Structure 1
C-alpha cells in the first residue's frame, strides 16, 4: 500500500484491540510492523497515538501508514502435494481475485502456532500475486467459499460491497434436533464480549448488541435427530449463525464453543470432530467485468455422514 489509508471501523467491531483489528483486515501484516508503527506514532486512531493495548470500536477512524511487505515477508515452503490439493479447490479466478473452497481445519492464515494457512499457501501457489490478501474470513473449522484479492484496488472494492451488503452469502449447517420449519427469520442483536478467563465469545444482547439478521431458506429433517439448514446471512456478525442457531435451541453439530458438549462427545467417538458449517454459495456483481459472479462449493464428507 503506497499511501496513507483511513479506515472507518465497521459496526460489528466493539472494544477490539487495534493490533487484532489490523491483523483481521490485512492478514499479510506482520505483528512486528504494526508494533513498529505504534512505537513511531505512525498508527493513529481518531488522530491520536495508540498503544499496543489500545482498543477500538465501531465508528473510530484508523490511520494506516503506507507500507511494503517485501522486506518483512519470509517465504514459507509448502509441499507440492498441498499446493496441488489447493489448486483443485479454486472455484473462480481472474486477474483481480481468487475464490477458493477452504477445507475445514485449515486456518485462513498462519499464526498462534500455525505455520501456514490458506493465505500463505495461495501466495506460494500464485507467486506473482504478491499482494494476495483476505477479503473476508471463515473460522478454521468452517469450510467453503473464501475470496482473496490480488490487488489493493480489488480489496477496497470488496470491502465496499461487503459493507453495503451487496454480497449474497449462503451457508449450510447441520444442527441438533428437528428445526421448526415455521422459524424462517432470526432477528436477534449480537454483542462480542469476553469471558472471565479471557475467551472471546458472542452473545445475544437486546440492549447493547448490534442487529443481526439470519434467514432460513430451507430445512431438511435428518435421521438421528438432526436438521440440515440452508441459511442466508443478511448481516455478517462474528459467529452469527452459530449463536443464532444456539439461541433457537439447535446449536450446530461439533461446535466446541457454542454447542451441546455431551451430545457432541458421543459423535466425536464416531469421527465427527469438526464444525458442520459450510459457506456454500457466494454471489455479487463485478463492476469491472460488468457481470454477476456466482460460485458454489459442494458439501464435503463431513455432511455426507448425516445426509
Structure 2
C-alpha cells in the first residue's frame, strides 16, 4: 500500500483548452490517483474554491477561473484493469465507428461507463488500459450500466468541447429502442415532466417526477405493437438520469426488465419464459458532428441478440406475464 500526496495548496488558473469541463473531472486530472469519492468530499466540504467561492461538482469551469485545490493525502490501493479478460478485450471489437477525433462504442449491457460505486473500473478505464499510448480518451456522455448501445468517446480535448456544445444546444441526436409494458398510443409523442433525483434509505438512487425537479422532455414513437407490449423509439431532448425509464413509467408504460421502475410480475416472468431479464433499453442511433464545417455523422448499433430473442418471442404471439 503506497501513498498519494499533494502536500501544498495549489492555485490553478483555468486555461482556454480546459474551459467547459466539469470541476470534478478537472480535479480528477489534476489530482491523479486520488479517488473520485475523495474529490467529491472535498467539493461538498467547500475545500475546493473557485474565485474564492464554493461550487458544486457539476460546475463548468471558465477560462481564467482561479481554482484553489487543497492539500490531499490518501492511501493508494491500485487496481489494474484486467486486460486479459474477454469482456475487456471485446471492447475493441465493440467499436462501431472511429476517426482521428472520436470513437463510438457499442457498450455491452452490465458494464459501467466508468469506475466508482463499487466498480473498480468501467469502459473508459478499460479502453485506456487497452490503448496505453493514446494521449487522450474521455467520455462525451454516459449510459446507465444496464443500458447497451452507442457510447461516444473523444480522442481530443477540442473534440470533447465541441461535442459538449452540441449536447448543450440539443443538436446531438440520441435514439433508443425500449420495450414497454402496455399498448403505447400513437398520439402520445412527447412526455414533458420535471425530474428530480431522490436517495432512498438503502442508498439506492431513484428519480421521480416532481414539480420541484428539472425540466425534462422525451419524444416517443411507436415502432411495433404486440399483445400487451410496445416497442418504441425514444429520443431524450434533455439528458436527465433515468429519463426514458421514468417518463415511460410516468405515463403507465414501465420498461420491460427494469428493476427500479418496471412491473415486478413481468420482470419475474422473463426468467420463467427463458428470456433475458436485462433492462430492454438500447441506444441504437447517435447523430453528431465532429467539427463545425463537417457533415453530420450517424452511427447505429444493432440490437443485442438477447433483446432480439424477446421480440421474436412476442412476434410469435406468445405472452409474458
Gaps in structure 2 of 5+ consecutive residues: 1-11, 70-75, 312-321
Deviation string, structure 1 residues 175-228 (Cα, Å, up to 9, x no partner): 1122122211111111222224433211111x21222111112331124x2211
Q: Is the 8 A contact 1:27 1:133 kept in 2?
A: no
Give the equivalent residue in structure 1 for 2:284. Answer: 280
Give the 3-state SS of the residue equivalent to 1:138 in structure 2.
coil
Give the 3-state SS of the residue equivalent to 2:176 in structure 1.
strand
Give the equivalent residue in structure 2 for 1:123. Answer: 128
How many residue pairs match? The answer is 285
Q: CA deviation at 1:115?
A: 3.3
Q: CA deviation at 1:280?
A: 0.6
Partners of 2:298 and 2:245 in 1: how far apart?
24
Give the equivalent residue in structure 1 for 2:296. Answer: 292
Partners of 2:43 and 2:239 in 1: how far apart?
29
Give the 3-state SS of the residue equivalent to 2:261 in structure 1.
coil
Q: Map of 1:233-244 to 2, 5 A cutoff? A: 233-244=236-247
Give the 3-state SS of the residue equivalent to 1:282 in structure 2.
strand
Gaps in structure 1 of 5+ consecutive residues: 10-17, 67-71
Q: Is the 8 A contact 2:36 2:116 kept in 1?
A: no
Q: Map of 1:199-278 to 2, 5 A cutoff? A: 199-205=204-210, 207-223=211-227, 225-269=228-272, 270-278=274-282
Q: CA deviation at 1:240?
A: 0.8
Give the equivalent residue in structure 2 for 1:12. Answer: none
Give the 3-state SS of the residue equivalent to 1:286 in structure 2.
coil
Q: Is the 8 A contact 1:42 1:64 kept in 2?
A: no
Q: CA deviation at 1:151?
A: 2.2
TM (normalized to structure 1)? 0.79
- Does residue 301 of the first structure (1) align with residue 309 of the second (2)? no
Deviation string, structure 1 residues 132-168 (Cα, Å, up to 9, x no partner): 1111100001000001112222222222211111100
Q: CA deviation at 1:110?
A: 2.2
Identify if the C-alpha distance between structure 1 residues 76 and 197 changes in structure 2 by more than 3 Å, giving closer, same or farther: closer
Give the equivalent residue in structure 2 for 1:153. Answer: 158
Q: Is the 8 A contact 1:179 1:219 kept in 2?
A: no
Q: CA deviation at 1:37?
A: 6.6
Q: Is the 8 A contact 2:184 2:230 kept in 1?
A: yes
Partners of 2:279 and 2:191 in 1: how far apart?
21
Q: Is the 8 A contact 1:123 1:130 kept in 2?
A: no
TM (normalized to structure 2)? 0.76
- Does residue 112 of the first structure (1) align with residue 117 of the second (2)? yes
